[in-house]
């Protein structure tokens, strides 16, 4: 039964290490006992929720104005959409927001961000295609400071394959921001696509080194993704999970609820 449980967890994308640990924790003190399928699901949900509980934390809002949020991730992870949704939520909460379209190499990303900005009623700063993203970030921070904005959300180009370029570009953006505000960026949020499975662990490792990530947003949990990689991420890195994307609409960015997630992942009716 234990082997079956381990296989089930691995197939749900928890990864080998986390799966073995979760199975061992559930088995502890229960050897030789009959455990029903429902009981097992409830135990499993409780163990998953226990791992996730400490990391379920919304994006912290500081009294510092403007609070600079640098958003990073690979192409296609949902960065642009996440920024649009986040801007909309912050605006609804009474914050004044400026968005900087820092992915200056992809015209489509800039256009998409402009549409999201319009929907959210938030200004989007753009630059010529191919121009220096660090210069745009600098100008956007200057504007946010001059206007007394509460939040500045900065999109960045996502290119994990070419780590050297990505590293230098992100490092330069951070350097330039710190010339205007020594504490910026105040948050560095990594957006991960749930459908990439265990590859998400590798992405966190790379972006941790490059950009000193402070929190995660997981997108596309509404699709085919099992989402178990979230448990592996929490187990290995312990980074806050600020929100999860569950659809394409502007309000489809939800706070991360460990109990609800654990139930959905395990098919349990209750947690513990």
**Per residue in 36-81, pLDDT tens?**
888 888 999 999 999 999 999 999 999 989 999 999 999 889 999 9
Asked if the structure places residue 35 within a domain, the reply is no
The pTM assigned to this predicted structure is: 0.92
Is 171 annotated among the ligand-binding residues? no
Token pair 């941790």: residue: 208
Asked if the structure places residue 37 within a domain, the reply is no
Is 18 annotated among the ligand-binding residues? no
Domains identified in the chain, total number:
1
Residue 235 pLDDT greater than 90, yes or no? yes
The per-residue pLDDT for 36 is: 83
- CB within 8 Å of 168: residues ≥ 6 apart: none
Q: What residues form DSSP beta bridges with 70? A: 154, 188
The per-residue pLDDT for 161 is: 56
Q: Taken in order 199, 133, 213, 87, is the CA torsion positive or negative? A: negative
How far is residue 195's CA from residue 46's CA, in Å, rounded to a whole number?
Answer: 24
Asked if the structure places residue 11 within a domain, the reply is no
Asked if the structure places residue 53 within a domain, the reply is no
Q: Could you tell me the CATH number of the domain that includes residue 168?
A: 3.40.50.300
150-187, pLDDT tens digit by residue?
A: 999 999 988 765 677 777 888 899 999 999 999 999 99
- Phi, psi angles (nearest 5°) of residue 169: -65, -45
Is 221 annotated among the ligand-binding residues? yes
Residue 226 pLDDT greater than 70, yes or no? no
Is 222 annotated among the ligand-binding residues? yes
Is 74 annotated among the ligand-binding residues? yes
The whole domain housing 140 covers 67-266
Asked if the structure places residue 135 within a domain, the reply is yes
Asked if the structure places residue 141 within a domain, the reply is yes
Is 156 annotated among the ligand-binding residues? yes
How far is residue 60's CA from residue 94's CA, in Å, rounded to a whole number?
Answer: 15
């Amino acid at each position: 039964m234990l082997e079956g449980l381990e296989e089930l967890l691995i197939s749900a994308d928890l990864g080998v290490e986390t799966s073995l640990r979760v199975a061992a924790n559930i088995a502890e003190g229960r050897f030789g006992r009959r455990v029903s399928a429902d009981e097992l699901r409830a135990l499993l949900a409780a163990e998953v929720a226990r791992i996730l509980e400490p990391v379920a934390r919304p994006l912290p809002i500081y009294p510092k104005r403007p609070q600079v949020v640098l958003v990073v991730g690979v192409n296609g992870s949902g960065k642009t959409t996440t920024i649009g949704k986040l801007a909309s939520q912050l605006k609804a909460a009474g914050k004044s927001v400026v968005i900087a379209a820092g992915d200056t190499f992809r015209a489509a990303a800039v256009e998409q961000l402009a549409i999201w900005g319009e929907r959210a009623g938030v200004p989007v700063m753009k630059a010529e295609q191919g121009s220096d993203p660090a210069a745009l970030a600098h100008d956007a921070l200057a504007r946010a400071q001059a206007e007394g904005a509460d939040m500045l959300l900065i999109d960045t180009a996502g290119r994990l394959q070419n780590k050297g370029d990505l590293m230098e570009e992100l490092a330069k953006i951070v350097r330039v921001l710190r010339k205007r505000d020594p504490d910026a960026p105040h948050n560095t949020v990594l957006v991960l696509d749930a459908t990439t499975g265990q590859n998400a662990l590798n992405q966190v490792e790379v972006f941790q080194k490059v950009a000193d990530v402070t929190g995660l947003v997981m997108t596309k949990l509404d699709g085919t993704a099992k989402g178990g990689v979230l448990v592996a991420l929490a187990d290995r890195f312990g980074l806050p999970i600020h929100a999860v994307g569950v659809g394409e609409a502007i309000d489809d960015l939800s706070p991360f609820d460990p109990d609800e997630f654990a139930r959905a992942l395990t098919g349990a009716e209750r947690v513990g």
